[in-house]
A and B are shown apart, each in its own frame.
Chain A
């Protein structure tokens, strides 16, 4: 097996106990919750018939270990139960809204990484301490701003005052656009939420890249490469490759933060994604849906960690073999 493949297998195997532990946590929460486990599995206002059906299918009249095995078996098959509010399987409800959230999460992830790394690389090696201090100040302050307030401020400035962007939604009501026109319409509506999410991340990534670059540029191999007459550009390229590793780890590790940021930003712009779904689920006390969202987000974090590790392995042979 190639080193990369064995790395992937190893990481996947390491994630299995974590995923099981998360499922167990769900089971524990369902049984600790006030009232009957039936209520936690069906939502607070479910019908008698639904509750009886659940009691039977989850084996709630049997002992706890049997219940646990049934519960975990269902989770493994991706069965998150039926949403009381939507009267549909939880997994379907979540997957239906996932694309609109990904429309915000994925581009903002790429944009903030790209711009952050570019900024950080440009800053590295400049001998201007004042500029350095200014960048750190901006990074610290931008990290202190709640992303949903940033979103509100952008909405105030660009939609309410200047009227440049729409106030809410993904497309205008009753529009029947298709193809490129639809794409443009969505982009126009997504611009401000994307800007908020990207601005919130970019400074952190820039500072991280910058400090790592500074460290790498001081290393022996850079000095050796310089002394052999390598052009500054290619020296920096070599340094950047090494400096990027911690950046990849950090970006990958912020998946949970990115999703919660997206959920909050969606609420500001009435964007029809997982954020609004979470609010609907919580306000209607639709417990299966709330728990399902939690499982889904944890899975997203686990997958992001996995991808991060594999990417690091691809970039760095020390991790691949070690």
Chain B
């Protein structure tokens, strides 16, 4: 499946770029005349303070990556853990966990984040905590449904009968069956987190904790008339990153499956 390979290759290249951005040691300080259009010297032009927009986009990538990965990891751990317990235990535990999931589902993520970032000192770890704790519900429901379906399946019943412990069954049977749907769902969680982070920084709620794509777009807003490049390039970066994650969600899992060859089973 060549489409899957292409997406996988693009995703790999982008991850390398993103990891590279973590090592980027350039600073986002004045480095040229203000409000200059893109040139060979400043690929994405300069902003109102003469800062290089390209450097800003690279620094923003690092932050976006941290928020996306952190949120996805947190949401995945909470969602899978609660989903497995709910689906496997059933009964009252399942009922209680389903109610809790419903509660977290109605919370408007964006406004919860605004409250927390206003009451506390904004930081990346706080943001990841809030976004992670409001993003796990979909993954939990997915896991629960899968666990419910597998509980009565013969290979699980026979594993249980032959004395396999709960954790062993979860690890060997549940998670290997869950790998594929989770591989499709988790990139979307990361993408949503990155979009939310961009929106919050755009409103100026990211605090003074470094450059982000949303901050660049907020900064571009008063200069739309004079400097289109200040808005266009950071926006393209966000869109590209989210688009890649969506494509990865659509095709990436299949491609990885081909490469791994179902060895997880």
Enumerate chain A interface residues (CB-CB to B < 8 A).
17-18, 21-22, 25, 29, 33-34, 40, 140-141, 143-146, 148-149, 152-153, 155-156, 160, 256, 259-260, 263-264, 267-268, 275, 278-279, 281-283, 285, 287, 290-291, 293-294, 297-298, 300-302, 305
Contacts and interface: CB of A to CB of B under 8 A. Distances in A.
B198 interface: yes
A33 B120 contact: yes
B116 A29 contact: yes
A264 B199 contact: yes
B231 interface: yes
Nearest to A143: B246
Nearest to B226: A160
Given A141-B243, A146-B198, A294 B114 contact: yes
Given A153-B235, A156-B231, A294 B199 contact: no
Contact of B118 (A145, A287, A300): A287
Contacts, number: 131
Interface in B189-237: 191, 195-196, 198-199, 202-205, 217, 220-221, 224-225, 228, 231-232, 235
A196 to B, nearest CB: 13
Given A152-B224, A283-B204, A293-B114, A33 B119 contact: yes
B239 to A, nearest CB: 5
Nearest to B100: A21
A153 B239 CA distance: 13
Interface of B: 99, 102-103, 106-112, 114-121, 191, 195-196, 198-199, 202-205, 217, 220-221, 224-225, 228, 231-232, 235, 238-239, 242-243, 245-247, 250
A298 B107 contact: yes
Contact of B108 (A40, A149, A260, A281): A260
Nearest to A278: B114
B106 A305 contact: yes
Nearest to A39: B119
A149 B203 CA distance: 12
A149 B239 contact: yes
A45 B246 CA distance: 44
A260 B118 contact: no
B221 to A, nearest CB: 7
Given A155-B224, A282-B114, A293-B111, 17 more contacts: A18-B103, A33-B119, A34-B119, A34-B120, A141-B243, A143-B246, A144-B243, A152-B220, A256-B108, A260-B108, A260-B110, A264-B203, A282-B118, A287-B119, A290-B119, A294-B115, A298-B107
B198 to A, nearest CB: 5
A290 B114 contact: yes
A149 B231 contact: yes
Nearest to A282: B118
A252 to B, nearest CB: 12
A160 B223 CA distance: 11
B114 A140 contact: no
Contacts of A267: 202-203, 221
A302 B103 CA distance: 10
B118 A285 contact: yes
A199 to B, nearest CB: 13
19 contacts: A141-B239, A143-B246, A144-B246, A145-B239, A149-B235, A156-B224, A156-B232, A160-B224, A260-B108, A260-B199, A263-B203, A279-B203, A281-B118, A282-B114, A282-B118, A290-B115, A294-B108, A297-B111, A298-B111
